[in-house]
Each structure stands twice: as structure tokens, then as C-alpha cells.
A and B are shown apart, each in its own frame.
Chain A
């Protein structure tokens, strides 16, 4: 038999693992869905143990997130930054660059866009919004480039450096909104003066759903086309899958590391720009409620596929809105990140099934 087998004995039955020659498309789709359900089940058991009624809580979550037109629009509002940052994170992950700095890149994007809006309040919309767009994307990209350069040149671990820069970016924005940029008319709240109307992204009807949604959709299409249809996209995929092969083929790995990280940060920066321009209309303390971290889950749950990212961002946006809805029932807000972590655990465990076939055989029955 060509497959070597690893065996793990349990009683008389033998658990046999066999490497799959081909991955099963059916399983690849089923496992993420299954892991979400398992995570909800496990978290539900935990909620029940700590004296909550999980069915009631999940009911309230579902109702809050998807039960009304307002709920769905709020879910979309949360999905926009998750999708944009998720697209960026996924792009980096594809090259095995662990950019977990989307949170900081988001903050820097929000900062730069706010700088444009506050410094040039009299710009007309058709100049203001593109300028904020560019400033946000650029700032996020540059913030990601800071850890990308030492990674490309020396191989400095980007996981730690990207994360450290999150704290720096958050403190920088805090410095501004508690200090020089604080709105004198803001009753001492940590926020800047409101932007002029020219700096507001258009919204749909009476909802808070803003034009950032279009950025996310177009971004997904562009990433898909670039990755699947261009030579450069092919390079990225090859580097991600086999660096040695890429090097032999003469691809420049360090150049691509910097480029991909810049783009990855750019998407997160854009998420920050669209949040200040579309939702808050000013820069404020805590402008992101952990979107950059949730984006990591969005990316992994989507298997890095840009279109799936949009759908998963919508679902996890619903989890955020639903979680918010249950806080009035006394459920701690931390429940949401607990569920998110559990989803990732089951997803990681389940991925084994896409790589191996596992079955039981009786002793001696092995072919």
C-alpha cells in the first residue's frame, strides 16, 4: 500500500489515519460551518454552567443581529471594517506573513483620514473623500511596512512586531484625542471636533450602512482577480506555498513581503478611514472595538477566500451586534471573544479531517 499509516491503538479497535491524496471540497465547506456550531454548543454549555440560559441568549443574539431591518443594517455596519481588515489580513496570511497588526493599522488609517478632514475642512467632497481614502490606506500601509522591512531584510518575527505596534497606534490616537486634538466643545470627552459634512461617506437611506461596503466588495473582486489571474498573484501564491521553489524560480521574496504587507495594512487603514468617515464623523478613543483581531478569525474561517470573507464578516458582524444586544441581560461582553476563540479551535481541529481520513479497523484487518 502506498500510504504509510499511523496507528493509535484504543482497546481492540485501531484508529487509522490515512493521508488524503485529494482534499474533499465537501469537507472543506462543511468543517467551518460545523466548527461554528460546535463553538456555539460548547460556549452554550459554559453559559449554562455559569447560570445563564443559552437558548435565551442565542435567541436574543440572533434577534438583535438578524431579526429586524435595523439589526441587519447594524450587522452590515460592523461587517464593513471586518471585511476590509479581513481582506488585508488574508492577503498577508496567504504568504504566511502573520500580520496581526490590523488593529493598529486601522487606528493609523483612522488617524490619517481624520488629519485630512480636520486640517482642510473646506475641501469639497469630491476632493475630500479621495484624499481621506488615500491618506487612510497609505497610513495603514506604512504602519504595516515598519515591521515588514525588518522581516524582509533580517527575518525579524512579524507576529510580535505587528502586535506591539497595535499598542503604539492606540496610544498615539489616545494622545491626540485626550490632548492636542480634543474638541474644546466636547465636554472633556476624548474625541475630536466633528468633521465637516464634505468628509462624510454617503450612507444608504436612513441606515448607518455607508459607502465602505462598496470599498469592501470592490476590494474582494480586485484581490480575487489579482491572485487568480495575474503573474504577480501567482508569485504570491507560490511564495506562500513553497518558498524554496519560489526562490529557485527567481521570485524576489523580500520585495513581495514588503509589498504584500503594505497592501495588507492598506486595507486595514481603509477600514479605519471608512469608520471615521462613515460612522463616527470624528476621531475618538476606542474607535475600533477589536475589529483588527476579529479580522484574523474572519480571514481564517474564510480559508483566505476573498468572497467568503465578505460573507463571514457579515456573520461575525452579527455576532458582535448580537453580543451587544445580550449585555442588557447581564451577559459579559467578553462572551463574544470567547465564542470567537472557540470557533478557531474547532476550525483548527477540524482541518485535520481535510488532510486525513480517519477510520476504525479491527486488529489485523488492515490491508
Chain B
């Protein structure tokens, strides 16, 4: 393989990893606040279809991204209402969200099938940085949403670990009763973080339909929402590790695709397509073992409804 080919694969890994990154960051935000939302796949699909529809309608992909964030947030608010206000089972509610989102996106997207987006997210070469050998073409000849993610990851890290807001957020995920007793509004914050997490998933979907594909296909997420949920565990709920994990998974995705495109027929394309899913299972097993050893785990109250009565 020439260095150009390696650079191309690594740059493609960033592109393939970015939707996973947005989805994983969203799920980290939600889970840090103590709510597990397994509806990522459904929220991504609805984000993908609404982003694509708005981008086609307005001719501006950034309006599409905003619409996708709103749609993802709206989907997540259903989950928030069911699990926070009505204290429904979070696993089943998330599954319902995925099933509903799959149906809704298929319904809304029917007129969009086969349409080519008139304008997709443009590649912007960052002046100076893009001409650095190796790093430039990999990291700095990407689109705006990739650059935005470079900013969001450190900002989230700072918010989580260096601000009062982040401390409160982690508190309601670890021990909502204690947080409540010092006057933190557990219900309001859990709602907010669940909806924000959904907005991230929506953007992740829009990245698929406006930059990665860029087109709308029914079920185009192909399990990426679930891979993102697995990435959260792999990343131990940390945004920086989520970034590394996303690019790693993106790399596997990109590699399978490249090998196919290069016409390497040693392995059937069906087996190459299995790789990300098998890799997810293996990584999840390793990550769980690691967290058992190091005693780092999920937020203490993850998945448990908060009920003031049972304080």
C-alpha cells in the first residue's frame, strides 16, 4: 500500500467515525445524567431523514443539520417523558423509540428515496494546517461537522470535569437523591440532558445522509446507533476516549469498504461487512473486563428511575 492509500483510508476513517462520535457523545451526555437511551438508532434515522429533507428543500445542508438536531431532540423528549415523568422501563422505552424511529423515518423518507442531495456538507481545507504532511490530509481536509466535533470534544470534557454544571450532571447520574437534597433539579436536568443527547444523535444521522452517503436510504444507519451505545461503554463515559473509539471503528468500516473497492476477493464482502459488528462484541467484552478490574463503571444510578417517594 502506498502512503497515499494509507492517508486515504485514515481520512475515510474520520468520516466514517464522525457519525459514531456524535451519537456516542449524545449518549454519554444522557447516560451521565442517569438515563440510558437505547433509541439512538431510531433518533439517528429520524435525524437523517429530516436533515436530508430540509437540506433538499432549502438547498442549505446546515439548515438540514439544525432540523436533524431538533428532530433528534423531539424523539428523545418522548423517551424523557416516559422514563423520567412516568418512570417507565428505560430499556423497553429505548427499544420502542428505535422501532418507532425506524418506521417514522421510512414513512417520511419515502418521497426522498433516490434523490441526490443538491448540496452536501462542503469539504473545507483549513489554511496552513491542511498542508502538514500526513496530518493535514487526514484531519484538516474535512467538512464543517468534523471540525465542529474537534471543538465539541474538548469543550464537553471541560464541562464534565471542570464546571459546576458538569458536576451537577454527574451527581444526578450517580446519586439523584443526594443531588436532590442539595437543591439540584433532578427532573429538569435529566430532561434537558436526554433531549440534548437526542439532538446529538439527530446530527449523527444528518452526517450520514448529508456527508457520508450522501443520500437517504431506508435503515441507512445499519446498526451504527447500537455501535455508538457500545462505544460509550468502551469509552467509559469519557468524551475524549469516545473520540478515539469512534475513529477506531470508523477505521474498520473504512478498511472493509476500501478492500472491497480495491477488488480484493480473498475475503467475501459479506464477511468484511460483518467486521464492525463482531468487533463491537469483542470490544464490549474487553471493555467490561477492564472496567471490572479498574472498578470504573457506569454512573451509579444509570437506568434507574428517580422516585422522590423512595428516597
Chain A residues at the B interface, C-beta cutoff of 8 Å: 4-6, 19, 50, 98, 100, 146-147, 150, 154-157, 159-161, 163-165, 167-168, 171-172, 174-175, 178-179, 293, 296-297, 300, 332-342, 344-345, 348-349, 351-352
Contacts and interface: CB of A to CB of B under 8 A. Distances in A.
B126 to A, nearest CB: 36
Contact of A332 (B38, B110, B223, B227): B110
Given A159-B38, A179-B270, A344-B92, A165 B107 contact: no
B100 A345 contact: yes
A175 B270 contact: yes
Interface in B137-182: none
A344 B103 contact: no
Contacts of A156: 284-285, 288
A150 B288 contact: yes
Interface residues of B, number: 51
A157 B95 CA distance: 15
Contacts of A338: 100, 103-104, 106-107
B226 A160 contact: yes
A156 B110 CA distance: 37
A174 to B, nearest CB: 6
A168 B273 CA distance: 8
A15 B102 CA distance: 35
Contacts of B8: none
Nearest to B298: A157
Interface in B222-242: 222-223, 226-227, 229-230, 233
Interface of B: 38, 42, 78, 81-82, 86-89, 91-93, 95-107, 110, 218, 222-223, 226-227, 229-230, 233, 268, 270-271, 273-274, 277-278, 280-281, 284-285, 288-289, 292, 307-309
Contacts of B281: 146-147, 160-161, 164-165
Nearest to B97: A341
B78 A345 contact: yes
Contact of B88 (A157, A179, A339, A352): A352
A348 B100 contact: no
Given A6-B308, A154-B289, A337-B102, A332 B277 contact: no
A258 B180 CA distance: 39
A6 B85 CA distance: 12
18 contacts: A100-B95, A156-B288, A161-B281, A164-B280, A167-B277, A168-B278, A171-B274, A175-B270, A332-B110, A334-B102, A337-B106, A338-B104, A339-B103, A341-B97, A341-B100, A344-B92, A344-B95, A344-B96
